[in-house]
Chain A
Amino acid sequence: MLDVIWLVPALPLVGFLAILLFGRRLGEPGAGYVAAAAVLGAFVVTVGAFFDLLSLDEHHREHVSVLFSWVPVSSLQIDMALLADPLSITMALFVTGIGFLIHLFAIGYMHGDPKFSKFFLYLNLFVLSMLMLVLGENLLVTFLGWEGVGACSYFLISFWHTRESAATAGKKAFVTNRIGDWGVMLAMFLGFQAVGSVSYSALNGAAESGALASSTATGIALLLFVGAAGKSAQLPLYLWLPDAMEGPTPVSALIHAATMVTAGVFLMTRMNPVIAASADYAPQIIAWVGALTALFAATIAVAQHDIKKVLAYSTVSQLGYMFLAVGTGAYVAAVFHMVTHAFFKALMFLGSGSVIHGMHHEQDMRRMGALRTVMPITAGTFIIGWLAIAGVPPFAGFWSKDEILLFTLASSPVLYVIGLVTAVLTAFYMTRQVVMVFFGEARWESHADDHGAHGEFRPHESPPIMLFPLVVLAGLSVVGGVIQLPSFGIIPDGWRHRLEDWLHPVVEPGEAVIKGTAAYDAKSWLALLAIACAVLGIAAAIAVYAKGRAKPFEPELLARGWRYDETVSAFMGGPGRRAFDAVARFDSGVVDGAVTGTASGVRSVAERLRRGQTGFVRNYSAVVVAGVLGILIWFVIIRGVL
């Protein structure tokens, strides 16, 4: 199947075109089935490619498929080519797999929406772009996908665009992403200038062989990180992600939990030789930004009331963990956490979607409670997701988070402490959410009147098509950890480090080696410490929210996200706007002025010359004679004729 790897992006493209042309005729739920089928087809091909790669020798697990020559401009030769190697196939697997499940969920969730087929149009376009992003053989193909997912994110966030907050959120996402895109573009230019190509093999090869100067590598690494910070919502460009919750919940699950936001981590992992060749402070910056973002977002999540906002800030926080891993050289751990996070975060977003659907579009957690009695399957799967993210073994999240913390301690104790504190907070706010939504008293009974004249308001469980993906993802969250089990004695040899072995050829140049460090030797204790933190967080939340032993600590400041968003808006609205107005004035005054100034200059000169046209014949005859005189002077005096 490796030869037909191009089918993987092609199938969603076909789906997109089919819905574009026949969407109205397909209607509901036909358009949804077409879109889901396209993604399922892509998944099947990806699985086939995966097995094909496995059959290859470990050091040659790489297949480049050149589709056509895209930019043939003398020294700049860029092909539309796809690269199938362990990293890209891993990404493609969970993008198409989880994408398919979310398509199924969306068929149920978007039931009754007038723009049903348009939704799936955008979803397929998104999957296409994301696949181009991960399967690209060079930075430009990846960037094509990068921009594509940004555009689709805009379309899908502002899907219900008649609501002003949704339209604004879409714009905000796009603009913030654009700032990141600037970074990626500059990195591309820098790479091309240094190496003469933008293909990964050329850039990474140059970095590994030492042909890439350290300063250039640092520049490329940091510029790409700017792009990653925008796309993957790190400080200071994370502001768009909480607002992006305006979009329908399947969008939040697919784009803002499982796939698009991981594009930044993917890019960093793909370019790991370049990061390894850069100066030491570059990965440190990445690690610190990741850690601080993780902590920052976790503190905000503690005080949110909207069920989706908690998950949004949680996503930002977990992405911070992934960048922390990238910065400390733990690329395998980053990819591992990316995969497990995709499972449980998508699960929880879909679960929240199920809750919202069942509560007739109520999203405030203060009005929920005791929903496990009404929606048992939703509750059960959500609880599994909760345990995974909190870091309780044997669920998937524990293994990946533990791996990251291990590498962090090997790199810097301070970062480790930040990671631990964030883990406690993560367990705390997720427990808070679960308790507020599924346990406790049924607060929705007293708010029945808020939902219109339904008479008796009773939330209900979601239809099977929405529950099926939840169950599948819950299963994956339970067993997902198996792909990278650490080397503890109790685990049989053949089951250890499977992801690491799989990804080894790709991440070898950048992967930190921690065997033999003190942290590695103490890894069993560290695992226990991680479990203890999780238990601490859970217990604290239960004490406050379930048992009511202490008062909830939800200060206004945290609820408003440390006022960061407001500060940025105020700055942009105030001094920022003044600066922009000045630039606009410069443009219209100086630049435009030069052009119109030339025109008016010509006009004023012409005006003055016009006075020469007196209309008097005698003046004209004088001018003629003067001309004759001029010619005579020229020939007789100057040229000296005769």
Chain B
Amino acid sequence: MELIVFVLASAMVLSGAIGVVLFRNPVHAALGLVLTLFGVAVHFVSMEAHFLAAVQVIVYAGAIVVLFLFVIMLLGVDRAEDLTIEPLKLQRPVAIVLGAGVTVLVAGAVVRGADTLGRETNASAPGDSNIRALARSLYSDHVLAFELTSVLLIVAVAGTVVLTRRLKKSEG
């Protein structure tokens, strides 16, 4: 059972990823991204990280991708990109070599060291649900980081507003 879930979710993830890379229309690429995000959320659920799965769907798929689509529509970059030509010579072969290299190395290393990792233990912390455990960790051990990220969010929002405002007189 678990295997089927794993395979299906993985298929979603990978096909979405390939879609992002290969679709010419950016809107289609965004949809591919959504598929990947959902697949990852399913993986999270299967690993008992329920809260994260929820956050993944709400924040990532629900907000970030929507933001992407807004910008695509706003700027009109929905024109399809011509993927057949490549102005920078060598870029494509180099990219494929590098990407494949990274993948193979990491995967190979992981497979090799599979014994070190040992069996997966499915035992979660006794009693506590995932969200409770996460909250406990977040608000006691990492509360400083938590506060800082809230500052970060405010800074990001304020900064972006400043960055993108149209100046009244000069802009046309």
A642 to B94, CA, bound (A): 28
Question: Is there an interface contact between B112 and A632, defined as CB atoms closer than 8 Å?
Answer: no
Question: Is there an interface contact between B105 and A622, defined as CB atoms closer than 8 Å?
Answer: no
Question: Is there an interface contact between B116 and A625, defined as CB atoms closer than 8 Å?
Answer: no
In the complex, what residues of A have CB within 8 A of residue B101's CB? 629, 632
In the complex, what residues of A have CB within 8 A of residue B98's CB? 622, 625-626, 629
| Given A625-B99, A629-B98, A632-B102, A641 and B91 contact (CB-CB distance below 8 Å) | no
**Size bracket, chain B contacts:** 10 to 19
B113 interface residue per 8 A CB criterion: yes
A618 interface residue per 8 A CB criterion: yes
| Given A618-B88, A619-B88, A632 and B105 contact (CB-CB distance below 8 Å) | yes
B3 interface residue per 8 A CB criterion: no
B62 interface residue per 8 A CB criterion: no
Cβ < 8 Å to A, chain B residues 83-101 = 88, 91, 94-95, 98-99, 101
| Given A629-B101, A642-B116, A622 and B108 contact (CB-CB distance below 8 Å) | no
| Given A625-B102, A628-B102, A641 and B109 contact (CB-CB distance below 8 Å) | yes
Question: Is there an interface contact between A629 and B94, defined as CB atoms closer than 8 Å?
Answer: no
Closest to A641 in B: B109
In the complex, what residues of A have CB within 8 A of residue B125's CB? none
B153 interface residue per 8 A CB criterion: no
| Given A622-B98, A642-B113, A629 and B105 contact (CB-CB distance below 8 Å) | yes
Contact with A along B18-38 (1 / 0, CB 8 A): 000000000000000000000
Closest to A621 in B: B95
Question: Is there an interface contact between A642 and B112, defined as CB atoms closer than 8 Å?
Answer: yes
A642 to B88, CA, bound (A): 38
B106 interface residue per 8 A CB criterion: yes
A54 interface residue per 8 A CB criterion: no
In the complex, what residues of A have CB within 8 A of residue B95's CB? 622, 625
Cβ < 8 Å to B, chain A residues 593-639 = 614, 616, 618-619, 622, 625-626, 628-629, 632-633, 636-637
Question: Is there an interface contact between A622 and B94, defined as CB atoms closer than 8 Å?
Answer: yes
Contact with A along B45-82 (1 / 0, CB 8 A): 00000000000000000000000000000000000000
- Decide if the interface of chain A is mainly helix, strand, loop or mixed: helix
Report the minimum CB–CB distance from B85 to chain A (whole Å): 14
In the complex, what residues of B have CB within 8 A of residue A616's CB? 88
Closest to B113 in A: A642
Interface centre among B91, B95, B98 (most CB of A within 10 A): B98
A632 to B101, CA, bound (A): 9
Question: Is there an interface contact between B109 and A636, defined as CB atoms closer than 8 Å?
Answer: yes
Count, chain A residues at interface, CB 8 A:
15
A636 to B109, CA, bound (A): 7
A626 to B101, CA, bound (A): 9
In the complex, what residues of A have CB within 8 A of residue B108's CB? 636
Question: Is there an interface contact between A622 and B109, defined as CB atoms closer than 8 Å?
Answer: no
A628 to B88, CA, bound (A): 22
A48 to B9, CA, bound (A): 119
A626 to B95, CA, bound (A): 9
Closest to B95 in A: A622
Report the minimum CB–CB distance from A619 to chain B (whole Å): 7
Contact with B along A226-240 (1 / 0, CB 8 A): 000000000000000
A626 to B100, CA, bound (A): 11
In the complex, what residues of B have CB within 8 A of residue A618's CB? 88, 91
Question: Is there an interface contact between B91 and A619, defined as CB atoms closer than 8 Å?
Answer: yes
A158 to B160, CA, bound (A): 82
A631 to B116, CA, bound (A): 21
Report the minimum CB–CB distance from A349 to chain B (whole Å): 91
Question: Is there an interface contact between B91 and A622, defined as CB atoms closer than 8 Å?
Answer: yes
In the complex, what residues of A have CB within 8 A of residue B88's CB? 614, 616, 618-619
In the complex, what residues of B have CB within 8 A of residue A625's CB? 95, 98-99, 102
A205 to B98, CA, bound (A): 83
A584 to B91, CA, bound (A): 53
A625 to B97, CA, bound (A): 11
Report the minimum CB–CB distance from A14 to chain B (whole Å): 80
In the complex, what residues of B have CB within 8 A of residue A642's CB? 109, 112-113, 116
In the complex, what residues of A have CB within 8 A of residue B113's CB? 641-642
A248 to B116, CA, bound (A): 104
A328 to B46, CA, bound (A): 117
Closest to B109 in A: A636
Question: Is there an interface contact between B91 and A632, defined as CB atoms closer than 8 Å?
Answer: no
Closest to A626 in B: B98
A622 to B101, CA, bound (A): 12
A433 to B98, CA, bound (A): 103
Report the minimum CB–CB distance from A639 to chain B (whole Å): 11
In the complex, what residues of B have CB within 8 A of residue A636's CB? 105, 108-109
A625 to B99, CA, bound (A): 8
In the complex, what residues of A have CB within 8 A of residue B106's CB? 632
Closest to B116 in A: A642
A633 to B91, CA, bound (A): 21
A556 to B101, CA, bound (A): 96
In the complex, what residues of A have CB within 8 A of residue B102's CB? 625, 628-629, 632
In the complex, what residues of B have CB within 8 A of residue A614's CB? 88
Report the minimum CB–CB distance from B142 to chain A (whole Å): 27
Report the minimum CB–CB distance from B99 to chain A (whole Å): 7
Closest to A636 in B: B109
Closest to B99 in A: A625
Report the minimum CB–CB distance from A341 to chain B (whole Å): 92
Report the minimum CB–CB distance from A627 to chain B (whole Å): 10
A632 to B102, CA, bound (A): 8
Interface centre among B101, B106, B108, B116 (most CB of A within 10 A): B101
In the complex, what residues of B have CB within 8 A of residue A622's CB? 91, 94-95, 98
Interface centre among A616, A629, A633 (most CB of B within 10 A): A629
Report the minimum CB–CB distance from A256 to chain B (whole Å): 83
Report the minimum CB–CB distance from A625 to chain B (whole Å): 5
In the complex, what residues of B have CB within 8 A of residue A641's CB? 109, 113
In the complex, what residues of B have CB within 8 A of residue A632's CB? 101-102, 105-106, 109
In the complex, what residues of B have CB within 8 A of residue A619's CB? 88, 91
Report the minimum CB–CB distance from B152 to chain A (whole Å): 23
A642 to B110, CA, bound (A): 9
In the complex, what residues of A have CB within 8 A of residue B105's CB? 629, 632-633, 636-637
In the complex, what residues of A have CB within 8 A of residue B91's CB? 618-619, 622
Report the minimum CB–CB distance from A92 to chain B (whole Å): 89
Q: A619-B88, A636-B105 are in contact. List 9 more A-B contacts (CB 8 A).
A: A616-B88, A622-B91, A625-B99, A625-B102, A626-B98, A629-B102, A636-B109, A642-B109, A642-B113
> What are the 7 tightest A-B residue pairs by CB atom distance, in nearest-first order?
A642-B113, A632-B105, A636-B109, A625-B98, A629-B101, A642-B112, A636-B105
Write 12 A-B pairs (CB below 8 A) sorted by A numbering.
A616-B88, A618-B91, A622-B98, A625-B98, A625-B99, A629-B102, A632-B101, A632-B105, A632-B106, A636-B105, A637-B105, A642-B109
